[in-house]
């Protein structure tokens, strides 16, 4: 089955180029040119990935992402303006999995998409053994099903938040530098800012820790990195 991609940008030439290139790789591509249309499409279809521009008519990319996160954890890659670090950080704050700076090379776009696809394919190909469950305190992690519960309540993590938690919890007490987490979790030689990791860790703590400022699961080793405490 072809992977489904939603491309959202008000620059029709950019959308046309991305659509053509991705379809050449056998992907199914839907297009939206404003925020309202993007929300409508995303609410009707579970896309494998959404490519979402920040600057959009009707609703901007942050508003669209916020709406999507109310009903889905589908991976979202933000398209941001060159040098606009605030857009990148805000995108991650709102729950984006990754970002690409404009102007971009289509090969970079494909590399980012394929890195996320590899994670999704591993998830889809897992057999339902039901045995790969990790329980730590009131935290229950179904590694195969990629779901997390706290006190039997489902916690909605994005793909990257889950990937970070899975890596840390399956390697307890091992400290990972931010650079190492970028390399391992993002799946390739990621050219991004290490603040990407900081934002994702903070969002993860907000979701799984009863008091994020005094965590009992994901700890910081000052000057080194992050680890999951056994």
Examine the fold and report which residue of 104, 124, 144 is the final residue of a domain before the chain moves on: 124
For the chain, give the mean pLDDT: 87
Question: Same domain, yes or no, for 169 and 197?
Answer: yes
Q: How confident is the model at residue 128 (pLDDT cuts 50, 70, 90)?
A: very low
Please compute the mean of the pLDDT values over residues 41-62 and round it to a whole number.
94
DSSP-based three-state secondary structure for 219? strand
pLDDT value of residue 192: 63
Question: Same domain, yes or no, for 164 and 98?
Answer: no
Residue 141: in which H helix or E strand, if any?
A: strand 139-142
Rounded Cα distance between 160 and 73, Å, is 10
Please compute the mean of the pLDDT values over residues 69-91 and round it to a whole number.
84
Q: How confident is the model at residue 148 (pLDDT cuts 50, 70, 90)?
A: very high
DSSP-based three-state secondary structure for 18? helix
Examine the fold and report which residue of 124, 152, 186 is the final residue of a domain before the chain moves on: 124
Rounded Cα distance between 222 and 73, Å, is 30
Question: Same domain, yes or no, for 64 and 139?
Answer: no
Question: Same domain, yes or no, for 11 and 79?
Answer: yes
Question: Same domain, yes or no, for 81 and 139?
Answer: no
pLDDT value of residue 124: 46
CB 118 within 8 A of CB 110: no
| Residue-number span of the structural domain to which 72 is assigned | 4-124
CA distance between the termini of the chain: 40
pLDDT value of residue 125: 41
Rounded Cα distance between 88 and 9, Å, is 16
CATH classification at residue 58: 3.40.50.2300
Examine the fold and report which residue of 105, 124, 143 is the final residue of a domain before the chain moves on: 124
Q: How confident is the model at residue 111 (pLDDT cuts 50, 70, 90)?
A: confident
Residue 136: in which H helix or E strand, if any?
A: strand 133-136
* Residue whose token pair is 């040119």: 33
β-strands 49-53, 76-81 pairing: parallel
CB 22 within 8 A of CB 5: yes
Rounded Cα distance between 135 and 219, Å, is 17
Question: Same domain, yes or no, for 9 and 120?
Answer: yes
Give tens-digit pLDDT for 161-199: 999 999 999 999 999 999 888 888 876 555 567 788 898
Could you give the number of structural domains in the chain?
2
Please compute the mean of the pLDDT values over residues 192-212 and round it to a whole number.
88
Give the sign of the dihedral formed by CA 66, CA 7, CA 185, CA 135: positive
Rounded Cα distance between 26 and 167, Å, is 31
Rounded Cα distance between 142 and 190, Å, is 27
Rounded Cα distance between 153 and 195, Å, is 29
CATH classification at residue 192: 1.10.10.10
Q: How confident is the model at residue 132 (pLDDT cuts 50, 70, 90)?
A: confident
Question: Same domain, yes or no, for 101 and 142?
Answer: no
Query: Could you tell me the pTM of the whole model?
Result: 0.72
DSSP 176: B
Alpha helices of the chain — where are they, by DSSP H? 12-24, 35-44, 61-71, 85-93, 106-124, 159-169, 178-185, 195-208
């Amino acid at each position: 089955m072809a992977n489904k991609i939603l491309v959202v940008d008000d620059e029709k030439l950019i959308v046309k180029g991305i659509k053509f290139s991705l379809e050449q790789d056998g992907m199914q591509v839907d297009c939206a040119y404003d925020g309202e249309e993007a929300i409508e499409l995303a609410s009707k279809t579970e896309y494998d990935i959404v490519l979402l521009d920040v600057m959009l008519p009707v609703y901007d990319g942050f508003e669209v992402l916020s709406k999507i996160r109310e009903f889905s954890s589908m991976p979202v890659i933000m398209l941001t303006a060159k040098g606009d670090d605030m857009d990148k950080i805000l995108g991650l704050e709102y729950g984006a999995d990754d970002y690409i700076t404009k102007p971009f090379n289509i090969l970079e776009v494909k590399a980012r998409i394929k890195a996320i696809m590899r994670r999704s394919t591993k998830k889809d190909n897992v057999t339902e053994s039901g045995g790969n469950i990790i329980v730590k305190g009131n935290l229950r992690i179904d590694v195969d099903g990629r779901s997390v519960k706290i006190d039997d309540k489902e916690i909605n993590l994005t793909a990257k938040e889950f990937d970070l938690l899975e890596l840390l919890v399956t390697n307890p007490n091992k400290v990972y530098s931010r650079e190492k987490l970028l390399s391992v979790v993002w799946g390739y030689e990621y050219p991004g800012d290490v603040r990407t990791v900081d934002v994702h860790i903070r969002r993860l703590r907000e979701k799984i820790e009863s008091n994020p400022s005094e965590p009992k699961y994901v700890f910081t080793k000052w000057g080194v990195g992050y680890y999951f405490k056994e």
